[in-house]
Chains A and B, each alone.
Chain A
């Protein structure tokens, strides 16, 4: 009897050691989101210059973006490596947290694709972050040539002047 228990324990132990994924429980939204502040700013309000603010974005937009990074559907510099560390449930929690935060910047970051339809009156921080988001998107996509990305002058304050 005792022997069996040991064997089962040994099996469980080895399964335990093989997997580096097992979590004891799901963290709260706050436990998860606090770890993002280092790059994205306190409560998702980035001080810039490049990392985008994510406070107050639409919950579905954040979750979809994380999923796109997780599944390599959206190219990116850092986030592809981070997003893969979270379960779908955790992504929903993080998205909910940041969606509920008050945004310091007037406008919201949208998909780089829809930049062209955005209004022109954006504050400077947002402008810079938007350009970086666009750059990240383009430069990480193997299909985009270097000539295209080099047309984006990150010193310009108006991303709408960017020609694609």
Chain B
């Protein structure tokens, strides 16, 4: 794959610096007088999609800002395309990204875990004992799993035997290895979480990828999707794809989907007997992928950025927390509805947030934002589908732009050629967005 060497961004006119800082300040609770003179510090918590994008765009938009990115891991594995790794069509190395690109842009990358913040002194505190001063802090800690919603499930069970693989990395490899080791005629159970959760079409894309692998390698096997919900993202298109490729709906279907009302919601797991307990039935499987309910990344709870929903309320044109001033939350952890919790959303939100932070630090006006999301799902290597939407800001909240968006055509309007193209667009998206985030 060719890498772009012109990975700089035109920033002319992106930020309008005006004298109206007091207006901006009044709207957001930002006080221009509390900022110390000299270089401004922005500390970013989490080097995933949201955090890494924000770090890069801050350096591009205002090179005078000192950007520090705190992330425990030396490498980031993207969740997107990790379902292709699980299906066997992609290597782990192709979803692995490092922080050299950001470091070369002048971002101070600190490999450490954030343990708290001091909002009065404006300090980010880390496990190794560092206190990092900030004028503005951006948090993009992603999600944490609510293990306590499933009896018998916890982090070590997930790491060793019953992976969720909902953060790409060792659990992605574990699930892949379990599928490879499974006998033909085995059963794979996928427990899909209740809303809201990271990547709404993700569990169903995963089922498709696993079905593709099993069809070609272990065709007598079954996939049981046990769902906490009664409907799911792109359902019509997934069901159509499963019918076409995997016999869904027939007696011989490889995939079976049990909805919440019919007992698909999982209450308990027994790793020794490989059994899941639903409201009505027990389900035994050879491989279990248990994706539990989710909430904002743990650190967001620790520092008090979450409300009763378990997610972080923000103002959508700056992503500044409505709870703690000078702290912004982007990505999955934030409440940015109607935008979904996706990588494309996190990337788009990070750019809006970076622009707002630069404006606020320079006593400027928060720019009018624009946001986009497109989520691709790969059902087979020749059948891709997507959902897309353009979003705007109405002065109070993020809104869908009228007329935009929607799904890949299905049914009578289905085009095989288009579906094959969508897979190529999905891979193009992967190449381009990872270059945009880490390049």
| Chain B: interface size category | 35 or more
A114 within 8 A of B: no
Instruction: Give CA–CA (A10, B76) in the complex, Å.
Output: 49
The reply to whether A139 and B14 form a contact with Cβ atoms under 8 Å apart is no
**A35 near B: Cβ within 8 Å?**
yes
Q: Is A60 an interface residue (CB 8 A)?
A: no
Q: Bound complex: CA of A72 vs CA of B400, how far in Å?
A: 20
Structural contact, A135 and B436, CB atoms closer than 8 A: no
Chain A residues near B5 (CB, 8 Å)?
104
**Smallest CB-CB separation from B427: which chain A residue?**
A49
Query: Could you tell me which residues of chain A, from 103 to 158, have a CB within 8 Å of some CB in chain B?
Result: 104, 125, 132, 135-136, 138-140, 146, 149-150, 154
Q: Which residue of A lies closest to B439 (CB)?
A: A42
Name the B residues within 8 Å of A140 (CB-CB): 415, 418
Indicate if the CB atoms of A24 and B417 lie closer than 8 Å: no
A104-B4, A136-B421 are known contacts. Are A31 and B367 too (CB-CB below 8 A)? yes
State whether the Cβ of A28 lies closer than 8 Å to any Cβ in chain B. yes
Best-buried of A34, A35, A47, A82 by chain B (most CB within 10 Å): A34
B382-412 CB contact bits vs A (8 Å, 1 = yes)? 0000101111111100011111111010000
Q: Complex: how many Å from CA A136 to CA B415? A: 11
Q: Does residue B416 face the partner (Cβ distance < 8 Å to A)?
A: yes
Closest-by-CB residue of A relative to B372 is A35
The yes or no answer to B108 lying at the interface (CB within 8 A) is no
**Considering only CB atoms and an 8 Å cut-off, how many residues of chain A contact the other chain?**
57
B7 at interface (Cβ–Cβ under 8 A)?
A: yes
With A23-B368, A86-B401 in contact, is A34–B6 under 8 Å at CB?
no
Decide: A43 near B6, CB < 8 A? Known: A30-B11, A81-B388, A85-B390: yes
Set of chain B residues within 8 Å of A132, measured between Cβ atoms: 421, 424
Instruction: Establish whether residues B355 and A150, one from each chain, have CB atoms under 8 Å apart when the complex forms.
Output: no
Given known A-B contacts A30-B10, A100-B10, A78 and B425 have beta carbons under 8 A apart: yes
Instruction: Tell me, yes or no, whether B433 is within 8 Å of chain A by CB.
Output: yes
Which B-chain residue is minimally distant from A39 (CB atoms)? B429
A39, B13: Cβ atoms closer than 8 Å:
no
Contact of A35 among B351, B393, B394 (CB under 8 A): B351
User: Is there a chain B Cβ closer than 8 Å to A65's Cβ?
Assistant: no
CA separation between A26 and B394, bound complex, in Å?
Answer: 10
- Are B428 and A78 interface neighbours, CB within 8 A? no
Task: Tell yes or no: A7 within 8 A of B by CB.
Answer: no
When chains A and B are docked, how far (Å) is the Cα of A40 from the Cα of B429? 8
Complex Cα–Cα for A32 and B429 (A)? 18
Q: B223-241, CB under 8 A of A: which get 1 and which 0?
A: 0000000000000000000
B421:A135 contact, CB within 8 angstroms: yes
Most buried by A among B5, B348, B400, B403: B403
Q: Is B71 among interface residues, defined by CB-CB distance under 8 A?
A: no
Q: Is the CB of B422 within 8 A of A77?
A: yes
A25–B367 CA distance with the chains assembled, in angstroms: 9
Interface assignment of A22: CB less than 8 Å from any CB of chain B:
yes
Tell me if B2 and A125 are in contact (CB < 8 A).
yes
B435 touches A38 (CB 8 A): no
Query: B10–A101 contact, CB under 8 A?
Result: yes
How distant is A40 from chain B, measured CB to nearest CB, in Å? 7
Known pairs A16-B394, A31-B370, A51-B425; A45 contacts B4 (CB<8 A): yes
Q: Which residues of A contact B8 (CB under 8 A)?
A: 42-43
Q: Which residues of A contact B355 (CB under 8 A)?
A: 31
Per-residue interface assignment for chain B, residues 141 to 171, with 1 indicating a CB less than 8 Å from any chain A CB and 0 otherwise: 0000000000000000000000000000000
Whole-angstrom distance between the alpha carbons of A86 and B403 in the complex? Answer: 9
Contact yes or no, A21 B402, CB < 8 A: yes
Partner of A24, one of B6, B12, B390, B395: B395
B428 contacts A49, C-beta separation under 8 Å: yes
User: What A residues does B422 contact at CB under 8 A?
Assistant: 77-78
Within 8 A of A (CB), among B1-48: 1-14, 16
Question: Contacts A24-B368, A38-B436 hold; do A84 and B404 have CB atoms under 8 A apart?
Answer: yes
Q: Which A residues touch B367, using CB under 8 A?
A: 27-28, 31
Q: Is A73 an interface residue (CB 8 A)?
A: no
Least CB distance, A54 to chain B, in whole angstroms? 12
**Does A149 contact B369, Cβ atoms closer than 8 Å?**
no
Q: Are B435 and A77 in touch, CB under 8 angstroms?
A: no
Assess whether B432 is interfacial by the CB under 8 Å rule: yes
- In Å, the complex CA distance between A47 and B12 comes to 24
Question: Counting CB contacts under 8 A, is B371 at the interface?
Answer: yes
Which residue numbers of A lie inside 8 Å of B, CB to CB? 16, 19-32, 34-43, 45-51, 77-78, 81-86, 90, 97, 100-102, 104, 125, 132, 135-136, 138-140, 146, 149-150, 154
Task: Known A-B contacts: A43-B10, A139-B417. Give 12 more (CB < 8 A).
Answer: A31-B367, A37-B436, A39-B428, A41-B4, A42-B432, A42-B436, A43-B7, A47-B431, A48-B1, A82-B404, A82-B405, A85-B372
Binding site for A on B (CB under 8 A): 1-14, 16, 57, 317, 344, 347-348, 351-352, 355, 367-372, 374, 386, 388-395, 399-406, 408, 415-418, 421-422, 424-425, 427-429, 431-433, 435-436, 439
Top 6 nearest A-B pairs (CB, nearest first) are: A85-B390, A85-B404, A139-B417, A50-B424, A21-B402, A85-B401
26 pairs, CB–CB < 8 Å, chain A vs chain B: A22-B394, A23-B368, A24-B317, A24-B395, A27-B369, A31-B369, A35-B390, A37-B432, A38-B429, A42-B432, A42-B436, A42-B439, A47-B2, A47-B3, A48-B431, A51-B428, A51-B429, A78-B374, A81-B389, A81-B405, A81-B406, A85-B402, A104-B4, A104-B5, A135-B417, A150-B417
